[in-house]
Every structure is written in structure tokens, then in C-alpha cells.
């Protein structure tokens, strides 16, 4: 990773020098560049070019590290514990470096071709060390984001989604669950119909329901955001979600102390009630006390610039579900509730 950081410092220095030189050229005569500065510039540019042409080789070296066999228990008991710790640190550093490289979409495609993503799914996601697992999930997310080709590969060729869903649900380490959900979102939340179909076939909404009941605020927020994305892009799945009791679950979240998750929860509820009488009926159940909650929440959010979108969701939801009642009109469809 030190090489990566050095590369960024060199590149930043080159840019700063270029800006400085350009500014100076406007108002001052051109002077010969000092030899020490010229030498530094040549070295920095060479370093940048080397990294641009050498990244595939660097990724191959990272994969060699990830292919190393784990030390077995007997070896650890025999005094190999320090070596195992060093090997695990190297694995984590290799995954960090691959994630950095795969922010470049071409590198993500190259990593797929090199077998790196298959290794990541087949080995790293199953690793005993949580630091390896969450970094592997993050690498999958970085590689799949905005890359339909990689998304198809992960969904169809290596079957990554079932394992990622399981990790979001049962892994004992919060960071692993959050990063696995990040990867799930990159596979499911985009335009790939195959991603959503795989999500549905592996009971993804059930996993989502359990995730919304988590004590981990970050995890709940990311699940709520994914639900909002799915319902916005695929409203045909409203009935499925309603039949699972999702409205009740979401409203229970709204009754908890205010937090970032509430904006996405309100957005999802708006999706569930707009042009959906069944969703409206559920929201009107007196046991949920939703009208009173929305009234108080809208009052609390008034005038807070950072909460404008949440306030909009709040007002839309109240208007759709309770607008007729506020005008004194009787809704015969819900008298039996």
C-alpha cells in the first residue's frame, strides 16, 4: 500500500507543479527550471507512467498472495502463529490494493479475466478472519459497480449473491455484514434484471426484513435504501412486500428515535402506498398510529434544510393515506379496519 500512497503523492505533486507553472507563466518571464526540480519532475512522471502500465502485474502479485495456503492449526501451535499473522496482514493489504485498482473499470474487467473475482468468492468470503471477509466483499462491490459485465459474471458464473446475502444475515462481525450488503446492492440495485431475479429466488426480501430488525443503524439504513431503490424501479413487487408485513416493520422503525434511516423508510412507504390501495389500508390501521407520528415528525423537520427530502416524503405519505380524513370525508373502504 505504501507504493500506492507514494503514487498518489507523486501525481498530486505533478498536478500542483503544473498548476503553479501555468499560473506563473501568465505574469512572470519563463526561467530555467532548477536541475533538482527537473529531476524530481522526471522521476514523478516516470512513476505515474509505470503505475499506469504496471497495474495488471501488480494485480497478479496480489492474487499470488491470496492464493497462499492457510497455515493449519498444528503449524500455529508449533510456533507458526507469527507467520500466520503476517500472511493474513498481507492478504488484507492485497485486497485493499485490488479494491483501489478496481475503482478503474478496466482493471475490474482484467481482475475478472485473471480469475481474481472467482478466488474472492470461493475463498476470501469464507475466510476465518473478518478483515479478509469484509475486504473481499468490498472488492466485489467496487468491481461490480456500474459494470454490467462483471455483475453478470458474479451472478451467473460464480454465484456470489447467495453467499453475500447469507453474510449480511448471519456474519457475527458488523463490518462484514455492511460490506456484504454493499456488494448485494451493486448486484441487485442496478439495471440488471438478472440481479433482481436472483435476489427474489434466494428470498432476498426475507433477508431484508430481518436486516430491518437489526440493532446496527448503518445496516438498517443500507437495507432501507436498497428497498427504496427496488420499489422505485420495480413497483410490480409491492404486493409481495406488503404480504410479508413490510409496512408494519417500516412503521416500527419510524417509532424509534430519529436517525438517518428514517428518510429511506419514509421513501419506501411512499412507494408502497402510491397507486396501491392495499398499502394505504395497512398504513391507516389505528394500531400503527402513523397519522399522529407523521404529523409530529413533519413539525420537527420544518425549517431544517438537511431534512427537506425526508419532510417531502413525510408530507406525501400523510397526504396519500390520511388526506381524505383531514378533509372530513369518510372512506368506506377502510371502515372495517
Distance of CA 166 to the CA centre of its chain: 16
pLDDT of residue 68: 85
pLDDT of residue 336: 40
More confident residue, 2 or 277: 277
Phi-psi region of 329 (alpha: psi -120 to 50; beta: other; left: phi over 0): beta
The pLDDT value given to residue 225: 94
What is the third-level CATH fold of 236-337? Answer: 1.25.10
If you search the block for the grid coordinates 427474489, which residue do you land on? 200
Is it the case that residue 17 has pLDDT exceeding 70?
no
- The predicted-structure confidence for 304-330, as pLDDT tens digits, reads as follows 999 999 999 999 999 999 985 554 444
Residue 184, all three cell numbers: 448485494
Asked if the domains 56-65+87-202 and 236-337 are classified in one and the same CATH topology, the answer is: yes
Q: Residue 42 has what pLDDT?
A: 67
Residues in the chain: 337
Instruction: Please determine, for residue 7, whether its predicted confidence score (pLDDT) is greater than 70.
Output: no
How many whole angstroms separate alpha carbon 181 and alpha carbon 217?
A: 13
Question: Which pTM does this prediction carry?
Answer: 0.78
CA 251/CA 259 separation, integer angstroms: 14
Q: Which three cell numbers mark 303?
A: 425549517
Burial class (CB in 10 A: 0-12, 13-18, 19+), 324: middle
The answer for residues whose C-beta is within 8 angstroms of residue 121's C-beta and 6 or more apart is 136, 140, 154, 158, 159, 160, 163
Percentage of the chain beyond pLDDT 70 is 77
Q: How do residues 125-164 score in pLDDT, each as one tens digit?
A: 999 999 999 999 999 999 999 899 999 999 999 999 999 9
Give the pLDDT band of residue 6 (cuts 50, 70, 90).
very low
Domain boundaries defined on the chain: 56-65+87-202, 236-337
Q: What pLDDT, on the 0 to 100 scale, is given for residue 40?
A: 74
* pLDDT for residue 3: 47
Residue 222 has pLDDT above 60, yes or no: yes
CATH of 56-65+87-202, one of 3.30.70.380, 3.20.20.60, 3.40.50.10420, 1.25.10.10: 1.25.10.10
Task: Give residue 155's Cα distance to chain centre.
Answer: 17
Identify the pLDDT of residue 12. 41
pLDDT confidence of residue 189 = 76
280 closest CA partner among 327, 330, 333: 333
Residue of higher predicted confidence among 87 and 319: 319
To the nearest whole number, what is the mean pLDDT of the chain?
A: 84
Amino acid at each position: 500500500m505504501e507504493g500506492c500512497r507514494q503514487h498518489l503523492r507523486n501525481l498530486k505533486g505533478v498536478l500542483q507543479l503544473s498548476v503553479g507553472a501555468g499560473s506563473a507563466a501568465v505574469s512572470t518571464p519563463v526561467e530555467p527550471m532548477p536541475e533538482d526540480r527537473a529531476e524530481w519532475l522526471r522521476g514523478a512522471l516516470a512513476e505515474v507512467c509505470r503505475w499506469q502500465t504496471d497495474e495488471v502485474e501488480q494485480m497478479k502479485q496480489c492474487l499470488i498472495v491470496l492464493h497462499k495456503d492457510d497455515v493449519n492449526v498444528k503449524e500455529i501451535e508449533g510456533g507458526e502463529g507469527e507467520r500466520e499473522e503476517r500472511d493474513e496482514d498481507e492478504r488484507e493489504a492485497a485486497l485493499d490494493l485490488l479494491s483501489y485498482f478496481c475503482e478503474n473499470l478496466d482493471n475490474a474487467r482484467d481482475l475478472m479475466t485473471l480469475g481474481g473475482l472467482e478466488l474472492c468468492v470461493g475463498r476470501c468470503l469464507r475466510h476465518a478472519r473478518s478483515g479478509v471477509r469484509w475486504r473481499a466483499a468490498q472488492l466485489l462491490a467496487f468491481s461490480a459497480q456500474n459494470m454490467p459485465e462483471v455483475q453478470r459474471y458474479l451472478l451467473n458464473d460464480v454465484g456470489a449473491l447467495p453467499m453475500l446475502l447469507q453474510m449480511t444475515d448471519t456474519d457475527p462481525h458488523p463490518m462484514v455484514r455492511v460490506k456484504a450488503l454493499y456488494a448485494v446492492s451493486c448486484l441487485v440495485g442496478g439495471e440488471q434484471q438478472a440481479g433482481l431475479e436472483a435476489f427474489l429466488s434466494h428470498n432476498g426480501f426475507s433477508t431484508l426484513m430481518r436486516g430491518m430488525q437489526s440493532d446496527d443503524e448503518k445496516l438498517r439504513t443500507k437495507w432501507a435504501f436498497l428497498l427504496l431503490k427496488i420499489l422505485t424501479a420495480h413497483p410490480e413487487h409491492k404486493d409481495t412486500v406488503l404480504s410479508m408485513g413490510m409496512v408494519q416493520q417500516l412503521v416500527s422503525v419510524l417509532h424509534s428515535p430519529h436517525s438517518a434511516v428514517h428518510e429511506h423508510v419514509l421513501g419506501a412507504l411512499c412507494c408502497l402506498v402510491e397507486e396501491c390501495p392495499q398499502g394505504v389500508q395497512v398504513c391507516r390501521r389505528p394500531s400503527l398510529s402513523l397519522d399522529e407520528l407523521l404529523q409530529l415528525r413533519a413539525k420537527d423537520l420544518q425549517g431544517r434544510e438537511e431534512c427537506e427530502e425526508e419532510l417531502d416524503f413525510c408530507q406525501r405519505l400523510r397526504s396519500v393515506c390520511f388526506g381524505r380524513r383531514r378533509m372530513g370525508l369518510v372512506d368506506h373502504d377502510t371502515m372495517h379496519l
